[in-house]
Amino acid sequence: MSVGGPIGVFDSGFGGLTILKQFKAALPDYNFLYFGDNARTPYGNRSFENVYDLTLKGVRFLFGLGCPLVILACNTASAKALRSIQQNDLEHLAPSNRVLGVVRPTTEAIGEYTRNNQVGILATKGTVSSESYLIEIHKFFPDINVVQEACPIWVSLVENGELENDGTDYFVERHLSRLFTKNLEIDTVVLACTHFPLLMSTIKKYLPGKVKVLDQGALVSDRLADYLKRHPEIEMRLERGGQIQFLTTEKSENFDHHAKIFYGHGIQSEQIHLDH
């Protein structure tokens, strides 16, 4: 008999499915509950207060459904809301539960990738303006030089299924050349947005040959597996069975139709309403 609750995976919409896919591959025995706030997506251009408020609602909802652990799969939510939730809200919401994000595991590992300490971050406007990647990388690796480029249009390209065509080439090339104009020496690029891995084949066309691209989903999955080993008090509260449930604030037909781009195969979701 299964005890405990699923691992909650929160995202502004579809993007977190790219991360969930890798969680499932790395941790196939656990149950996951994915919650996409598609009715309010995208979060990338929203204010700090707005992202914080929406993310907190999502976390509260997932805790209410019994998730002892919630992962913010969205970079924008991780960058703008995670710290406040961990420091100010968790003790009132559910002190023995945990909320983790995708920024910290990425920044902790970045030193293993760069050889010359020159790193480029590609992300949404919100993630870039939060400076979370700069701050976190400098905590672990003060010598790494970080430059950032916001690529808001990349999210829309992916959401519209425009993964490979002339227009996509134009916008991918434009933002990459802006990034490298800021620092020609970059040897490692982080795709710090859930949507960007889907543009990988176009990104690779315009990336200087020796530049490495960090695969955030794989990295975050490895770190989650490691976290569960180091935190048996959380791990023992997680439900097993290999089941995944999908919830969205949009109409489920819309979610299911689009989700394939991100998850690789069809899924069936259920619409929920967040009224508090």
Which residues of the chain form contacts with ligand DGL (CB under 6 A)? Answer: 11-13, 15, 41-44, 74-76, 124, 127, 155, 193-195
Tokens for 102? 């995708």
Q: Which residue, 5 or 42, has its beta carbon nearer to ligand DGL?
A: 42
212 contacts: CB under 8 Å, gap ≥ 6 = 113, 114, 187, 188, 189
Q: Which residues of 220-238 are buried (b: 16+ CB within 10 A; e: fewer)?
A: bbebbeebbeeeeebeebb
Cα atoms in the 13 Å half-sphere on the side-chain side of 268: 1
73-to-39, 86, 195, 217 alpha-carbon distances in Å = 17, 15, 11, 9
User: Which residue in the shown chain puts its C-beta closest to ligand DGL?
Assistant: 44
Closer residue to ligand DGL in complex, CB, 150/238: 150
Pick the catalytic residue from 73, 74, 99, 247. Answer: 74
Q: Of residues 82, 110, 122, 193, which has the active-site annotation?
A: 193
Q: Catalytic: 151? A: no
67: annotated active-site residue: no
The beta strands (E) that lie in 101-218 are given as 118-123, 145-150, 188-191, 212-214
CA dihedral 65, 44, 138, 185 (to 10 degrees): 140
Rg (the chain; Cα; Å): 18
Q: Which residues are catalytic?
A: 74, 193
